[in-house]
Each structure stands twice: as C-alpha cells, then as structure tokens.
Amino acid sequence: MQGSGSQTIVVTGASSGIGREIAIQLAAPQRVIWLIGRDPHRLDEVASQVRAKGAIAEIAKIDLADLDAADHFLNATFPSGKQVDTVYLAAAVTLFGEVQDMLPEDWDKIYRTDLLSPVQWGRHFYANMVEQKAGKIIFVSSLAGYAGYPTATAYATMKAGLLGLYRSLCHEGKSHGISIFLASPGYVDTDIYKSAMFRKTTYEKTMNSIKGLGFRILSAEETARAILHAVNCDKREFALPAYASVMKWVATRMPLVIDIVHAKMVKNFRQSP
C-alpha cells in the first residue's frame, strides 16, 4: 500500500496515442503511474513527462500478446493485496483489409492484444480491487464495438467482446465498490493507423478512404481529456465525439443508417487510390 493519499494508476498502451496522453494528463504529485508498452524509447519519453509533473513513473516493457509473460508480470508486480486504484487498458492493434485476405495469425494477434489481454489485466486488477473494496477499471474500446467496422473486422470483433465484458462486469463490480468504464472513441489521429497490419491495401489507401468518410478526427490529447473528464464525472459508458455518440445510439436502434455508412466504407476501401 502506498503512503497516505497516494494513488497507483496503471496505463497499458502508455507509449503512444491515447494511452500516452492519459498517462501524461494524469501525472501529478502523490501519483504512481505504471506505463506499460513495448517500445522502451517511447516509454522513457512518456516517463520523463510524467516525472516532470511530479508523479512517480514506473515502466514495464511487456508484449501484452504474450499472455504467459503478462501473467508472470502481473503476479510478481501486483500480487494480491497490492493497492492499485485505477487501471486504463488502452493498448490495441488493428488491421485493415477484407476478411478473405487475412491470415489466421492476424486474427490470433488481434485476439490476444485487443481482447484476451484486457480480459487478463482487467480480471487481475478486479480481483485485487474486490479485496480493496474499491477501484476503477477503464476499458478503451471503440465505436467499432457497437457499429462493426467492415475492413477492420477482427478489430471490431474484439471491441464488441469488450462491450459484453463491460456490460456484465459493471454490475458485478458495484457491490464491491468497483467502477467499470467503457470508453468508445471514433476516429483519433494516432499511430494505430501507421502501425496497423495491411492486407491487400496500404496505409495511404486506408487513410484516403477514412478521410473520404468525412468524420471529425480527434487528437489524442482531446480524446484523453474527454475520457478523464467522463471518468471524473462517473460516466460509465460513453462514446466520443458527438457523431460517435449518435452512431452508438443509432447502431442498435436504427441499423439501416449504419448500413449506409458501412456500404460507403467498403466502397471507399475498394476504390481508394
């Protein structure tokens, strides 16, 4: 247990994009922030920014798709009884391409990183928080979890899995004093597009087809700010920005509208220069 008044926060995906911004924006004296990712240089850069704001930064370089390594790390570093107050699970990868062009190992990588890993980390900290009778776990999902995402089907599948996890766990957690959150952004300008896998398409073609849809693209900084604000206000399940919030609502009530958007997505993808 940390000293009185101090808080321990864990952020996966802390080396880049939304997770990086969450870690930096959360940094303040009396906070210990665990930065989880694979790239040691980017983790070091984030740690410097976190420390400059008076927080303690701890770095863990882990491949989250390696579930055995993650299990070892979690049990060694956060054993039962070790206080962790808040966990942001933001790490993910994606792939652009049509399903017939995907390889079995593509599905496996996305399954491990985007679904099994948040389940593993969420379960681990949830168990500690049941003992503490307090805690917050924030799953960073995507609008794709509600609406689907043709040409990023595996990604959408895993994010839909997080929706099922959230909708169930949030009720179990209540009686233990644990708050579960599901944050679902629309498009955000981050490296997830550059580091994506591409099957019979390219980064340039993918970005052209996304831009052709005309949706507002948020910055990582404003996305993190909105997520932290929602968590602060105890808003448990939310999409951002406004168009994503509308599409989240429309996805279950007026699926025909989503069909129109998706038809355009597939057309843009196939015709993109």
Ligand X SMILES: NC(=O)c1ccc[n+]([C@@H]2O[C@H](COP(=O)([O-])OP(=O)(O)OC[C@H]3O[C@@H](n4cnc5c(N)ncnc54)[C@H](OP(=O)(O)O)[C@@H]3O)[C@@H](O)[C@H]2O)c1
Binding site for ligand X (CB under 6 A): 13-19, 37-39, 42, 62-65, 90-93, 113, 140, 142, 185, 187-188, 190-192, 195, 220
DSSP 113-138: IIIIHHHHHHHHHHHHHHHHT-EEEE
Q: Which residue is nearest to ligand X (CB)?
A: 17
3-state secondary structure of 11: strand
Contact between residue 147 and residue 254 where contact means Cβ atoms under 8 Å apart: no
Which of 60, 134 has the CB closer to ligand X? 60
- Tell the smallest beta-carbon distance from residue 217 to ligand X (Å): 8
- Tell the smallest beta-carbon distance from residue 232 to ligand X (Å): 19
Q: From the centroid of its chain, how far is CA 180?
A: 13
Provide φ and ψ at 272, rounded to 5°.
-60, 130
Which of 174, 211 has the CB closer to ligand X? 211
**Which residue stretches of the chain are H helix?**
17-26, 40-52, 67-77, 104-110, 117-132, 144-147, 153-174, 203-211, 220-232, 242-253, 255-271
- Dihedral of the alpha carbons of 150, 154, 156, 159, in degrees to the nearest 10: 180
- Tell the smallest beta-carbon distance from residue 75 to ligand X (Å): 18
- Tell the smallest beta-carbon distance from residue 214 to ligand X (Å): 15
Which of 13, 135 has the CB closer to ligand X? 13
Provide φ and ψ at 137, rounded to 5°.
-125, 125
Which of 35, 129 has the CB closer to ligand X? 35
- Tell the smallest beta-carbon distance from residue 189 to ligand X (Å): 7
Provide φ and ψ at 112, rounded to 5°.
-65, -45
- Tell the smallest beta-carbon distance from residue 132 to ligand X (Å): 25
CA distance 27 to 56: 8
Which of 125, 187 has the CB closer to ligand X? 187
